[in-house]
Structure 1
Amino acid sequence: MKAALYKLFIELTNGPISSAAIRIFANSNISRLFIKSYAAVYKINLDEMVEDIHSYPNLHSFFTRKLKEEARLIDMSADSVASPVDGVIEDAGNVTANKEIIVKGKTYSISEMLGGTLRAEKYGGGTYIIIYLSPSHYHRIHSPISGKVTDSYSLGRKSFPVNRLGLKFGDSVLAKNFRVITEIDSPKTTVAMVKVGAMFINSVIVTNSKREWEKGEEAAYFSFGSTVVLLFQKGAFVPNDVVKSCGEIRMGDALGRLTGGKGQ
């Protein structure tokens, strides 16, 4: 019953009119009046921002704020995987041989998430990490490893909530929401980074079109809080204790280490 009511409410409110209204407001001059209260409610660290809080023309520009270079330290160990975002490790585990993951009791198809059986094949038996970004987090997305961008594409149309309620009651939100997928190839392995749009706002804005990315380099940003899913090939990644304990993470912090494998 709870799941049915949740789905009904989201379907009724997550339409083109409501989405457009939120987007228009967030980009309007009047939304600027809400920036200080938003920062106070979500306890935003103003000292780490590049710009002064009074310089942002609207809420959208504040959501997508940049940080000072020294605000985040990138773990540059040769075999480390750095968190691409600030957020909370919502879940982590193994991809089944059938290319599925089980999150909050719900089964997600990696084939559906990536848009095809062949695309998902290399991640069977591998590892996944789900990082959730709340409205309080820094919204820019960075490369988790150094390597060559071998593929980048988008899928899906609408976006539903990707918070804990969304994962519990939603309809395969990680595999059906609007999402931008990037595959990065390194000498050790290939990593898929799935940037999943959140409720109302599909917007995942790609800011880096280069074919070679350095670890920690900015790649994109979310217009609102959302989720990143990282997929690793079988035998190619060992998570650290922060991932295993599903703790808070900051962009640049190590998630674990690459061991090579290329799907072995």
Structure 2
Amino acid sequence: MKKQLYKTMVELTQNPIYTKMIKTFTKSKVSGRLNHSFSKVYQINHGEMEREIHEYATLNDFFVRKLKPGSRPIASDCVVSPVDGKLSQVGTITEDATFHIKEKDYKLGTMLGLESSTQRYLGGTFMLFYLSPKDYHRIHSPLTGRLVKRWALGKYSEPVNQMGLLLGKEPLANNYRLITELEHKDRRMAMVKIGALNVNSVHPTHHKKEVEVGEELAYFSFGSSVILLFEKGMIEPSVDTSTVDLPVMQGQEIAKWL
């Protein structure tokens, strides 16, 4: 019962009034009283948290917690996972600019909104990561490179949980999303950070032109998803691409360079 309640809090609903109420509550001092219960329900590892649990004043503060330095070792000479969560799917972007996720076809042009970027990733690889309420919700760079551009699209958002992916109208391509394009050795990768319902839940924290692998880029204030897009011939996945919902940790190797 508690788990379902907390899941509702961090994934939100399609009712904008209720969503606003939940958002307000999770940022209130009263919500901080739930931190211990939330932690117990989701079995969160206190040993890797930057601060003691009683130091987080609100449920939102606890949800967007940072980790102690060194808690997530960063693999070298490869592409690493940008988040803790599940690597939900790995696949190929077709030459007609679509990709298939959870029984639904997505249009890359709709997701990115820029023709130049859409054409760049034809035939490339996509990786979808899903973050659940128990996960660490900060987003890190999967590679070392140069920030080419960053742009935001979308307003209203549908759920990005399993039911939302099945029943929503291309939520991964239509939801509010913050897109960061990085260049590594003259090849590009796009990171699509997908917001939760009715609110801008994606908050950038990195504003420099250069970025190191493992460096923090943003965080989610409510649960959501991340999609990585790679140019054709840029990487080769080093995980079992037939496995669905593979648990991964931020900094773990997910692909090799080609």
Whether the 8 Å CA contact 1:18–1:200 is kept in 2: the answer is: no
> Within 5 A, what are the aligned runs for 1:74-223?
74-77=74-77, 80-187=78-185, 189-223=187-221
Query: Equivalent residue of 2:70, what SS?
Result: helix
Whether the 8 Å CA contact 1:188–1:236 is kept in 2: the answer is: no
Whether the 8 Å CA contact 2:155–2:198 is kept in 1: the answer is: no
Partner Cα distance (2:154, 2:15) in 1: 14
User: Is it true that 1:229 corresponds to 2:227 in the alignment?
Assistant: yes
* C-alpha distance 106-192 of structure 1, shift in aligned 2 (>3 A): same
Matched to 2:143, the amino acid is I
Partner Cα distance (1:132, 1:151) in 2: 24
Matched to 2:248, the amino acid is I
Partner Cα distance (1:145, 1:56) in 2: 31
Deviation per residue, 1:7-64 (Å, 9 max, x gap): xxxxxx5243222111100100100011110001111111100100000010010010
Matched to 1:17, the amino acid is I
Paired position in structure 2 for 1:67? 67
Deviation per residue, 1:69-97 (Å, 9 max, x gap): 121011122xx111000010111100000
Task: Give 5+ residue unaligned stretches, structure 1.
Answer: 1-12, 260-264
Paired position in structure 2 for 1:9? none
Whether the 8 Å CA contact 1:183–1:193 is kept in 2: the answer is: yes
Whether the 8 Å CA contact 2:93–2:121 is kept in 1: the answer is: yes
Whether the 8 Å CA contact 2:91–2:241 is kept in 1: the answer is: no
Shift of 1:164: 1.4
CA RMSD of aligned residues (A): 1.4
Matched to 2:196, the amino acid is A
Shift of 1:118: 2.2
Partner Cα distance (1:85, 1:232) in 2: 17
Partner Cα distance (1:24, 1:115) in 2: 31
* C-alpha distance 243-140 of structure 1, shift in aligned 2 (>3 A): farther
Task: Give 5+ residue unaligned stretches, structure 2.
Answer: 1-12
Matched to 2:250, the amino acid is M
Matched to 2:165, the amino acid is L
Shift of 1:165: 1.2
Whether the 8 Å CA contact 1:91–1:129 is kept in 2: the answer is: yes
Partner Cα distance (2:162, 2:23) in 1: 23
Q: TM-score, normalised by structure 1?
A: 0.90
Partner Cα distance (1:43, 1:24) in 2: 25
Paired position in structure 1 for 2:4? none
* C-alpha distance 242-65 of structure 1, shift in aligned 2 (>3 A): farther
* C-alpha distance 242-55 of structure 1, shift in aligned 2 (>3 A): farther
Matched to 1:210, the amino acid is K
Matched to 1:216, the amino acid is G
List, as ranges, runs of 4+ consecutive aligned residues in structure 1 with deviation greater than 6 Å. Answer: none
Paired position in structure 1 for 2:254? 255
Shift of 1:188: 5.1
